[in-house]
Structure 1
Amino acid sequence: MNYLKGMALALGLTLSTLTLAASVTDLAGRQVTLPAKVGRIILGEGRMLTTLAILEKQQLPQRVVGMLGDFEQLDPAGYAQYRQRFPALDKVVRLGKTSAATFSAEQAIALKPDLAIFSLSGHGPDVNDHVTLKRLQAAGITVLYVDFTRDPLLHTVRSVEVLGQALGRQQEAAEFIAFYQAEMDKVRQRLKLTRRQPTVFLESRVGLSRECCETMTHGMIGRLLDAAGGHNIAGKLVPGMHGTANLEFLLKAQPEVYIGTAIGNPASVARGVPTIALGSGIDAATARASLRKVLGRPGFPQLKAVAGKRAFAIWHHYNYSAQNIIGLQAMAKWLYPQEMADLQPEDTLRRFYQRFQPVALNGTYWTQL
């Protein structure tokens, strides 16, 4: 509080300028009355920290008192960067591991948070978990739903706006939204120059299962692929957000482009886990080698996309963050190399970290054969 007061006075402001909106409509369509003060926050997913950092910046850990343990479990190298920058994260209570089934409502209530931030869908308590919602509300805890997963294209901007209102960070939210929309417009303007959609197969969490192949369609990165101008060949096969397609389907369909999502990290590389490795701590050579290895699975060398070197990989955790626009730009450039020739997703990534993240850019977030 002393830090905030000092900053406010330095800017010629008073703390009253940091007051919260009285109420907001969250991403579940609920009219939510906000507490007069939000001093204690719990997160339904730990990976929300990267989005919260857009708004809280260097004050990130000051209000977070509890979160799910998915960040450190599923993106350990990324979490390590945050932990190094904010050692106080060690004191944040873990309310579960990596799933809603492990979330402890008892622990959450005991922390006496003012605000709980949950996702419409994801790894933690979601909009269908009515039991947890009622328990927290009965304890006087305000619950707010956001969404970067179910329909990221439609909901990212609104989610950041809602968080800005709830946390008294409207200016920070507005700055990021302007950045996001400007980068989105770069893709949309160039898509007007295209004539046909290339066919694409999107394989999710490559290497997690020995069976082929998990995919995403009407949600998550599947939505980003749509916005990038790709024709998802599994769109009619999988009516929901995600599902599976077999190898025979791929070999018959012969998509023009293959995109896999990467769940590997430096620790999994060291253990020899057969996944694509991207993200914090992964260099370009390691990333490309991991993609090449998984594309050596039976049947994949027979795909025209692989033989023609139109095979790519992208960081899976774009599914859970407001930085999804960066992944969208990378895919758009793969799909339309001529029309998107002057699009620079690497520069977008660099500027995102410089302006909106409290940690340095350190790693590779997409790769190709």
Structure 2
Amino acid sequence: MRLLLLIFLLCTWAVSAKTITDITGQRIEIPDNPQRIVLGESRMLYTLALLEPGYPAARVVGWPLDLKKYDPQSWALYTDKFPQMTHIPALGSTGLRDINPEKVLELAPDLVILPVLAKTTHEEIALISLLKQAHIPVIRVDLRVDLLNHTIPSLRLLGEALNRQDRAEAFISLYQSHMDRIHQ
């Protein structure tokens, strides 16, 4: 009986995972439907709002408070509409560089989404290493360093990771039509 249960669990795990390639070219196995997501920047909420109907932070279990610090007007608008956002655990105050790795581990995320920054820091390398050792999948997106080349692939990546490909492609189509008009 135990053997059957073990086989069932292994088969379920294999079916419920997928491999994606992040913006840095790393192939990462992630849950098919992640439910406990840590963001490396709360400013990723702008992009999640494009992909997640309703409450954009529904799956977020932790993030730094960079959105509150650097864009207090947007933070106020979001928290007025979604007051539950104020209860998401803060992992730092300014973004990826001051995230507390121990707090991330305590939250037991099934996916961590980190931004690509212009300069990689020791703290960032240490955080990624710790998460890999803990077998927590980490994907990286670029929503601000190389926007012309990485916006569309990053949106596709997030759409795939969150099973929101249709919403990602709808926005990409709009974005691309505007970019095409600019290039004419």
Q: Same fold by TM-score, threshold 0.5 exceeded?
A: yes
Relative to the length of structure 2, the TM-score reads 0.86
More helix by share: 2
Matches of 1:115 and 1:154 in 2, distance apart?
A: 24
Task: Report the equivalent of 2:101.
Answer: 105
Counterparts of 1:166 and 1:78, CA distance in 2: 25
The CA deviation string for residues 278-305 of structure 1, in whole angstroms up to 9 with x for no partner, is xxxxxxxxxxxxxxxxxxxxxxxxxxxx
RMSD: 2.2
Greater length-normalized contact order (CA 8 Å, ≥ 6 residues apart): 2
1:355-366 maps to which residues of 2 (within 5 A)?
none
Matching of residues 158-237 of structure 1 within 5 Å:
158-189=153-184
Native 8 Å contact 2:39 2:112 kept in 1: yes
Instruction: Quote the residue 1:55 is aligned against.
Output: 51
Q: Which residue of 1 aligns with 2:5?
A: none
Query: Which residue identity lines up with residue 73 of structure 2 in the other structure?
Result: A
User: Residue deviations 1:7-50, cap 9 Å, x none?
Assistant: xxxxxxxxxxxx98822111111011111330011110111001
- Give TM-score, length-normalised by structure 1: 0.44
Structure 2 CA distance for partners of 1:21 and 1:55, relative to 1, 3 Å? farther
Report the CA distance between 1:127 and its aligned residue: 9.7
**Structure 2 vs 1, CA of residues 118 and 75 (structure 1 numbering), >3 Å: closer, same or farther?**
same
Structure 2: where are the runs of 5+ without partners?
A: 1-14
CA contact (8 A) 2:41 2:96 kept: no
> Which residue number corresponds to residue 141 of structure 2?
146
How many residues in Structure 1 have an aligned counterpart in Structure 2? 170
Query: For the Cα contact (< 8 Å) 2:143–2:150, is it kept in 1?
Result: yes
After TM superposition, which residue ranges in structure 1, 4 or more long, deviate above 4 angstroms? 125-128
Q: Does structure 1 retain, via aligned residues, the 8 Å contact 2:96–2:114?
A: no
- Equivalence for 2:115: 119
* Partner Cα separation in structure 1 for residue 17 and residue 46 of structure 2: 23
Judge conservation of contact 2:113–2:140 (CA < 8 Å) in 1. Answer: yes
Letter in structure 2 aligned against 1:22: K
> Does 2:67 match 1:71?
yes
Deviations 1:326-365 (A, max 9, x none): xxxxxxxxxxxxxxxxxxxxxxxxxxxxxxxxxxxxxxxx
1: CA distance between counterparts of 2:104 and 2:177?
38
- Asked if 2 retains the 8 angstrom alpha-carbon contact of 1:118 and 1:126, the reply is no
Unaligned runs of 5+ in 1: 1-18, 190-369
Q: Deviations over 1:68-127 (max 9, x none)?
A: 11000111011100001111101101100114442101001100111111011069x879
Alignment of structure 1 residues 13-92 onto 2, 5 Å:
22-92=18-88
- Given the superposition, is the C-alpha separation of residues 143 and 159 from structure 1 closer, same or farther in structure 2, using an over 3 Å criterion? same
Check conservation: 1:28, 1:127, Cα contact below 8 A.
Answer: no
